[in-house]
Structure 1
Amino acid sequence: MARIDTALGAIGVAEAGAGGVPLVFLHGVGSDKSAWAGQVAYFGGSRRTIALDYPGYGESDPSSAGEDAPHDRFAAVILAALAALGVGRFHLCGLSLGGIVAIAIAHRAPARTASLILANTFAVHPDGTAIRDRSVAASSDMAVLARARVPALLAPDPDPALVADLVAVMARIDPAAFRLGSSAVWPANQRDRAAAIAAPTLVLCGAEDRVTPPALSDALAELIPHARRVDIPAAGHLPNLEQPAAFNAALDAFLADLAPA
């Protein structure tokens, strides 16, 4: 765990490995870069692998004024962090809010986006504004919100240890950062941007996701030219944590089919 200084503030970073086009992971609204610890370790065995915090999350500085749309503000900060890390082109994997930010990054920097993995996310959510409003209203006590929210993120009968870990991570998020993250993800409408994606794209979803159901991933994949679509069985909204072997295998297969890089 570390921080990288950028023109837009210090950003938390975890990384492992070397070589190849780096693989970059972006977390969801109720998490931080630690959610990708297993993927950083696994993929770091074969290439440079990086996980980043958003402004106000994890080890990052709070957000400063900038873009009108929070997901575009996050995209600008992530690109600044990657520049500071010396990363040119990258494979980009974003989950939930991370997928929203990944689409925004591909829009800003298409030439640098070698591929996209969009997990448990959407181009537009039919209940997005209502979810944002409920999230913002409940954010004054993140510990209470975490205990209520985490079980709904997972497939039925989740591992109690995983639940406890996720509650602890979510409970320590700064409420202001969580409110900004909620405003970045749920009201976002990126249909036009998704339709314009030129990079090879994998659209993943936990088969039992109740937050961003597989139908939203279906709709996203239909928008993106030549997107590959995969479901992860026995997983909800966090398949990288619920079914890490299946999640990693799906990414491995997708990356292996790309031109050598």
Structure 2
Amino acid sequence: MPTDASTTYADLSLTMSETGVGRPVLVLHGGGGPATVTGLAQHLSRTAHTITPVHPGWDGTPRPAWLTGIDDLARVYLRTLRERELRDVLVVGSSLGGWIAAEMAAHDSAGTISGLVLIDAVGVEVDAEPIVDFFALDARGIAEHSWHDSDRYYLDPADLASEELARRQSNMATMRALAGDPYMHDPGLLPRLSRIQVPTLLLWGESDRIVTPAYGAAYAEAFADGRLEIIPEAGHLPHIEQPDAAYALIEAHLDRTT
């Protein structure tokens, strides 16, 4: 059964859900919040010890004033893994979570991380493939850029309960604070990726219009051991639109990197 844990990190209370046994797998959600990776974490927990934090500031969790960027968050998670003496960790990150995962690996001098899975990740600047300005899109635009089947996943804000609408707006404000300037990337990250030696799988939805498959190809090429897999009929969250295909690729990478 899943259990929730709250780990204190100085003045930061870090809330995590943990379930399963086996190799540790850290699952990092994107801007949409922890619900976007719940199914993925549950699936992986059948054969692994999955750890799924809620990023500080998302879903009403507190964010200390000093936590102002993705690099700060990456260092928090990396230090948390080390303090818990976890080794051979596979880090799986979706969208913004993929950026966090890449930053963690770039700072991992102790060899805590042994593999990465980046799912339609942001975090680097590719001149020919700019990241779409997510903050400038309305709800319909977000759906059309994010999903292969936008009609299926579009939610009219007018149909949302006030509590859910407030949660989404708060999450968006936190994402803007941590990743809005420079917009959705670390200018120095791309050249540092070549120093990351762990096997890195990049999963990309073929229909993603937030960050295109061409952006994903440039991202994968920058790693010392990066591999890109395109998932048809999927957008920015292929593990939701095409879970069977995404899970199979992640499981194979989990086995490869153990």
Higher relative strand content: 2
Q: Match of 1:253?
A: 252
The answer on whether the counterparts of 2:231 and 2:245 sit within 8 Å (CA) in structure 1 is: yes
The answer on whether the counterparts of 2:131 and 2:211 sit within 8 Å (CA) in structure 1 is: no
| Aligned mates of 2:52, 2:224 — CA distance in 1 | 27
Matched, 1:36 2:34: no
Q: Match of 1:226?
A: 225
Specify the code of the residue in structure 1 equivalent to 2:14: I
What per-residue deviation string (whole Å, max 9, x for no partner) do you get for residues 37-56 of structure 1? 11121111111011112221
Compute the displacement of 1:203 (Å): 1.2
Matched, 1:25 2:24: no
Q: Match of 1:141?
A: none
Residue aligned with 2:46, SS: coil
Q: Match of 1:115?
A: 115
Compute the displacement of 1:83 (Å): 4.3
Specify the code of the residue in structure 2 equivalent to 1:75: A
| Aligned mates of 2:141, 2:84 — CA distance in 1 | 37
Matched, 1:96 2:95: yes
Q: Match of 1:186?
A: 184
Q: In the TM superposition, what are the counterparts of 1:1-261 in structure 2 within 5 Å?
A: 1-20=4-23, 22-29=24-31, 31-58=32-59, 60-65=61-66, 70-83=69-82, 85-110=84-109, 111-122=111-122, 123-126=124-127, 131=133, 135=135, 145-146=138-139, 148-160=141-153, 163=155, 168=164, 171=168, 173-183=170-180, 186-189=184-187, 190-258=189-257, 261=258
| Aligned mates of 1:151, 1:104 — CA distance in 2 | 29
The answer on whether the counterparts of 1:125 and 1:187 sit within 8 Å (CA) in structure 2 is: no
Identity over aligned residues, as a percent? 25
CA separation of 1:95/1:146 partners in 2, compared to 1, >3 Å: closer, same or farther? same
The answer on whether the counterparts of 1:54 and 1:78 sit within 8 Å (CA) in structure 2 is: no
Compute the displacement of 1:182 (Å): 3.1
What per-residue deviation string (whole Å, max 9, x for no partner) do you get for residues 141-186 of structure 1? xxx95565234211134434x7579x85862534541212432761
Aligned residues: CA RMSD = 2.8
| Aligned mates of 2:253, 2:43 — CA distance in 1 | 15
Specify the code of the residue in structure 1 equivalent to 2:177: L
Specify the code of the residue in structure 2 equivalent to 1:193: R
Compute the displacement of 1:35 (Å): 1.4
The answer on whether the counterparts of 2:90 and 2:115 sit within 8 Å (CA) in structure 1 is: yes
The answer on whether the counterparts of 2:132 and 2:209 sit within 8 Å (CA) in structure 1 is: no
TM-score by length of 1: 0.81
Compute the displacement of 1:130 (Å): 7.4
| Aligned mates of 2:39, 2:86 — CA distance in 1 | 21
The answer on whether the counterparts of 1:121 and 1:216 sit within 8 Å (CA) in structure 2 is: no
The number of residue pairs the alignment matches comes to 244
Give the unaligned 5+ runs of structure 1: 139-143
CA separation of 1:66/1:57 partners in 2, compared to 1, >3 Å: closer, same or farther? closer
| Aligned mates of 1:72, 1:117 — CA distance in 2 | 18
